[in-house]
Amino acid sequence: MRLVTTPRVTFLRELSGEIIAHYGRGRMIVAVDGPLRSGKTAFADDLAEVLRERGHTVFRASMEGFHRSRAAQADFGDDTAERYYRYGFDESALRRVLVEPFRLGGSTAFVTRVLDPARDAWVEPRWITGPADAILLLDGRFVLRERLDELWDYRIVVGGDPIDPADRLAYAERDPRRFADAIVNLEDPSDPRRN
């Protein structure tokens, strides 16, 4: 279905063209990082729709679905911004049930979330498969940290200075804007710009 053309959709179509230029055949993973409340999740949702408009199979996931449980986080000490930044997400599960099986392609099934952080409860795994040619679009805080960087084929950062203490730690350690393929300014979400 053709999306209604707005400045945001026009921007997303141009960005999707750039992404597809990097994408041949097979599986590709696009990561969207940005500080808390930067608009990265809605941006990734809209980008997925534009990529689908272009005829691509797109799967969506968010780091929100790969939180560690509160009990598991407590194993790493007191509830601080540093603990959340370093241990708030289950990166092992992200690799094991999403990234690695997605990369295998074919009939290998993968899971797009393992935990509901609002309820602090594990979710029933929903194993899905897709065609050999597909794009996984993952958004979340800290996805461009160094230890995850090799997982992504294309890196987007929603601009904005970090205000939250955990984001400030992340940006001080490794500013994701320095490693992004595209930096998006969402000061006016209806009319995004490149930084």
Per residue in 92-150, pLDDT (tens digit) is: 999 999 999 999 987 889 999 999 999 999 999 999 999 999 999 999 999 999 999 99
Structurally, at CATH architecture level, domain 7-194 sits in 3-Layer(aba) Sandwich (3.40)
User: How many Cβ atoms sit within 10 Å of the Cβ of residue 54?
Assistant: 12
The SS3 assignment for 7 reads helix
Higher pLDDT, 26 or 57: 57
The CA-CA-CA angle for residues 143, 95, 134, to 5°, reads: 85
CA 184, distance to chain mean position in Å, is: 14
β strands within the chain, DSSP E: 27-33, 58-62, 115-116, 121-122, 134-139, 154-158, 182-185, 193-194
Q: At 120, which amino acid appears?
A: D
Q: Looking at 75-134, list the stretches that DSSP marks H as alpha helix, in order from N- to C-terminal side.
A: 81-87, 91-93, 100-104
| Integer Cα distance of 113 and 128 in angstroms | 11
Give the position of tokens 């984001």.
167
pTM: 0.94
Closest CA to 67 of 123, 128, 29: 123
The SS3 assignment for 138 reads strand
Residue spans of the domains in the chain: they are: 7-194
Confidence of residue 2 (pLDDT cuts 50, 70, 90): confident
> What is the DSSP secondary structure assignment for residue 121, as one 8-state letter?
E
The answer on pLDDT for 24 being more than 70 is no
